[in-house]
Amino acid sequence: MKLPLFLVDAFAERPFTGNPAAVCLLDRLRSESWMQAVAAEMNWSETAFLLPEGEGFALRWFTPVQEVELCGHATLASAHVLWEMECLEPDEPAVFFTKSGRLKAWKTEDGTIWMDFPAEPPVACAPPIELLQALQSVPVRYVGRNRMDYLVLLDREATVRRLKPDLERLQQLDIRGLIVTAPAEEVSADFVSRFFAPRVGVPEDPVTGSAHCCLGPFWAERLGRTRLCGFQVSPRGGRIEVETRRDRVYLGGRAVTVLQGKLLAG
């Protein structure tokens, strides 16, 4: 059977910006090896697989080399596809069952898609030598870690933009990835960031929703506000609205479908 397949630019207001994600609508349960093979074939940072389940959809995310426990932009892309394909009514929330629990997305009147994600605040820690070596002597103001990633606060936005971490050294760390951040100076936002995850097959991710589950609580504490805006200063770039609510983080953004087709090798 031919399976509907989409390429969606997430956290984007126009095509060819934000973070591309493939979204595949499944007709039945598929093996992990099959989904991983499809994700490797797509070769985007994430491929999302959706299957109707109960009141919502089972959702799994795969990079080109492995499955991950949480992904923001592919969830945003999945919700966008469900509304665009009229699998859901415009005012009906999208409910997802994932390895990070039950997630929900909804669309506001202005077209923004909001997602209810778990907060993943960092805990301050001593940086391992491999991390400092990977950062190559940039000014570090703070290092923390959550269950997935290291978070490093740098001195200024320009340092974040210029950073060229040693990806081979990052691969030696037992983490999903590295978030670097600083106060925003050149863009209209509260903070900027970049995200590197070579260990899971993503050298640099264009716009990373799940990283903002960490960045949101981190910057909310420092700025004394629960409503924030982050801008990921990768070459493609993207804006993420963030609202912290105790142990949850609301992430907001838009999405654009750039390709629609059928997966023939089912």
Neighbours of 41 (CB within 10 A): 12
Q: Tell me which of 13, 32, 41, 46 is the catalytic residue.
A: 46
Distance CA 257, CA 181 (A): 29
Q: Are strands 140-145 and 149-154 parallel, antiparallel or unpaired?
A: antiparallel
Letter string b/e over residues 137-176, b meaning 16 or more CB atoms within 10 A of that residue's CB? ebebeebbbbebbbbbbbebbeebeebebbeebbebbebb
Phi and psi (nearest 5°) for 59?
Answer: -135, 130
CA angle, 106 then 104 then 51, to 5°: 105
Q: Cβ distance 241 to 253 under 8 Å?
A: yes
What one-character-per-residue DSSP string does 178-203 give?
A: EEEEEE-SSSSSSEEEEEEEGGGTEE
**Which residue, 146, 145, 113, is CA-closest to 126?**
145
Distance CA 114, CA 105 (A): 5
Q: Are strands 191-197 and 227-232 parallel, antiparallel or unpaired?
A: parallel
Q: Can you point out the beta strands (E) in 63-121?
A: 67-68, 94-98, 101-107, 113-118
Query: Quick check: is 243 catalytic?
Result: no
- Catalytic residues, by residue number, are 46
